[in-house]
Amino acid sequence: MQILRLLFLVLIPAPYIAAQNAGTSFDTGTVEKTIRFLAADEMKGRAVFSPEIDKAADFIAASFKKSGLQPLQGNSFLQPFTVYSAAFRGLMARADQKELPKDNVIVITGQPVLEVTEKSGYNIRSINAGSSLFHEASEAVNNGGNNIVLVDESFAPDFKRLILFKRNFLKRAGSTIFILGKPALQTYTIKASHVIKEHRLANVAGLLPGRSRKDEYVIFSAHYDHIGIGKPVNGDSVYNGANDDASGTTAVMMLAGHFAALKNNERSIIFVAFTAEESGGFGSQYFSMQLNPSQIAAMLNIEMIGTDSKWGKNSAYITGFEKSSLGGILQKNLTGTGFEFHPDPYPDQHLFYRSDNATLAKLGVPAHTISTSKMDNEPNYHQPGDAVETLDLANMTEIIRSIGISAGSIIAGKETPSRVKDE
Ligand SMILES: [Zn+2]
């Protein structure tokens, strides 16, 4: 196969090669080979902390290298980082001379030993009946401060589930103590001990420096992790994640090869495959923290483009379409190609905040996700059935090509999308 193609390139006239470079260098055969590797049963669903996800990372890194990208940082395409988890060891909680039942207190902290009293300056807040427990709990845990959160008794059945915040966190500036009920808290002492464990993860990130506007970046991204091995369905326990999101990862690899061959980008382009999207978005959160958001002109995140969209072939949608002018620019650049981008037709699902674009979007970057996934009717979503056989690879190839074309004027530095407004 390789030899045949080489011969072909030697024999064809030069103008044809130039035309190939101008945007036709996407072929279904390469797309298929790439996605079949990532979504093979042997990859066991690319779960975080598995040897198979490391194999996937090496595969993506080798492809970036072969395309001629530079590592984004240092001399490796792997962008390693640490996530932590806290394993509970012990608790003592006393308020106004009375012991609090251990089951009514959950301490979320990154410190092995934490001791808090009324003199520690913790903010006392509450989650009231009728509000959204997990939304408010998450806000408290992630706001960076030290909090005591009094949780209304009506949440008793779900209270125990707040321990999920002990699992996998990037770094924890503050500590949050959830207490079920409303003790007076005139005086109190809460002591908790945990064993803090470290886990290594890695994004894969490559850079194609711009010709003139090196400090302005356009990002193409997707997540390469999936959910691994799970409950068998019809005897199949491998959740291959072909559509979610080996399809987007394949797109990022193809676009890297395409733009690296063209080498005419005025703005710098970053190609990145994120880890740990499915377990909390840690990969994109870490990646986003390494960049200056004001230098990022646009982020095109690609999630699930392997099935036909609700409009059929040659179409995809953009999440958060109305939040910046990026979608309009991408649409305009596709005029006359026979391919269409639509605004996200599933606004109730809040997809804009559910993928790897969210962290940068919250910082104002026009960061959106491109997808074809029918969120109301995608039977293989998070099922072992999400395998290559269920995908439309020819259409997927067209989507990848169209994403490349749609970003053309931004990569050329001719257009700059408006920023996402803080809400
Ligand atoms: Zn996904």
- Residues 236-295 have pLDDT tens digits of 999 999 999 999 999 999 999 999 999 999 999 999 999 998 888 999 999 999 999 999
Q: What is residue 100's three-state secondary structure?
A: coil
**In angstroms, what is the span from residue 223 Cα to ligand 1's centroid?**
7
Q: How confident is the model at residue 20 (pLDDT cuts 50, 70, 90)?
A: very low
* Amino acid present at 139: E
What is the rounded CA–CA span in Å between residue 99 and residue 190? 10
Q: What is the mean pLDDT of residues 167-177?
A: 88
CA of 331 to the centre of ligand 1 (A): 23
The answer to whether 236 and 379 are in contact (CB under 8 A) is no
Q: How far apart are CA 258 and CA 410, in angstroms?
A: 16
Instruction: Give 86 Cα–ligand 1 centroid separation in angstroms.
Output: 26
Q: Six-digit token pair at 145?
A: 């401060």
Burial per residue of 322-335, b for 16 or more beta-carbon CB atoms within 10 angstroms, e otherwise: ebbbbbbbbbebbe
The alpha carbon of 15 and the centre of ligand 1 are apart by a number of angstroms equal to: 39
Share the mean pLDDT of the chain.
92
**Residue 244 preceded by cis peptide, ω within 30:** no
CA of 302 to the centre of ligand 1 (A): 9
Alpha carbon 303 to its chain centroid, in Å, reads 9
Q: Is the pLDDT of residue 223 over 80?
A: yes
Maximum alpha-carbon separation in the chain? 88
Tokens of 113: 């030993």
Question: What is the whole-number distance in angstroms between the Cα of residue 32 and the centre of ligand 1?
Answer: 19
Residue 168 confidence (pLDDT): 85
Q: What pLDDT, on a 0 to 100 scale, did the predictor assign at position 84?
A: 92
How many whole angstroms separate alpha carbon 366 and alpha carbon 97?
53
Q: Contact at 8 Å (CB) between 197 and 85?
A: yes
Domains in the chain: boundaries: 16-82+200-411, 101-182
Q: How do residues 299-331 score in pLDDT, each as one tens digit?
A: 999 999 999 999 999 999 999 999 999 999 999
C-alpha 155/C-alpha 130 separation (Å) is: 9
CA of 248 to the centre of ligand 1 (A): 9
Q: How far apart (Å, rounded) are the C-alpha atoms in residues 179 and 149? A: 6
Q: Residue 172 has what pLDDT?
A: 79
pLDDT of residue 279: 81
Q: Domain 16-82+200-411: which topology?
A: Aminopeptidase (3.40.630)
* Centre of ligand 1 from the C-alpha of residue 117, in Å: 42
User: Considering only 166-180, 217-231, 398-412, which range has the smallest mean pLDDT?
Assistant: 166-180
Q: How far apart are the first and last CA of the chain?
A: 52
Q: Tell how far the Cα of 303 is from the centroid of ligand 1, in angstroms.
A: 6
Q: Answer whether residue 86 shows pLDDT above 80.
A: yes
> What pLDDT score was predicted for residue 423?
61
Task: Name the H helices within 28-173.
Answer: 28-38, 51-67, 133-142, 156-159
At residue 261, the pLDDT reads 95
Q: What's the chain's Rg over C-alpha atoms?
A: 24
Average pLDDT over residues 108-135: 95
Q: How confident is the model at residue 3 (pLDDT cuts 50, 70, 90)?
A: very low
Residue 21 above 80 pLDDT? no
pLDDT attached to residue 14: 41
pLDDT 10s digits, 380-420:
999 999 999 999 999 999 999 999 999 999 999 999 999 99
pTM: 0.86
CA–centroid distance, residue 247 to ligand 1 (Å): 10
Q: Please classify residue 171 by burial: count the beta carbons closer than 10 Å to its beta carbon, then call 0-12 exposed, 13-18 middle and 19+ buried.
A: exposed
CA of 278 to the centre of ligand 1 (A): 7
CA of 357 to the centre of ligand 1 (A): 11
Query: Across residues 208-212, what is the average pLDDT?
Result: 98
Count of CB atoms situated within 10 Å of the CB of 421: 8
List Cβ neighbours of 137 (8 Å cut-off, separation of 6 or more).
Answer: 127, 149, 151, 162, 165, 176, 178
Q: Is 301 helix (H, G, I), strand (E, B) or coil?
A: strand
Residue type for position 405: I
Give the span between the Cα atoms of 202 and 47, in whole angstroms. Answer: 12
Share of the chain above pLDDT 90, in %: 85
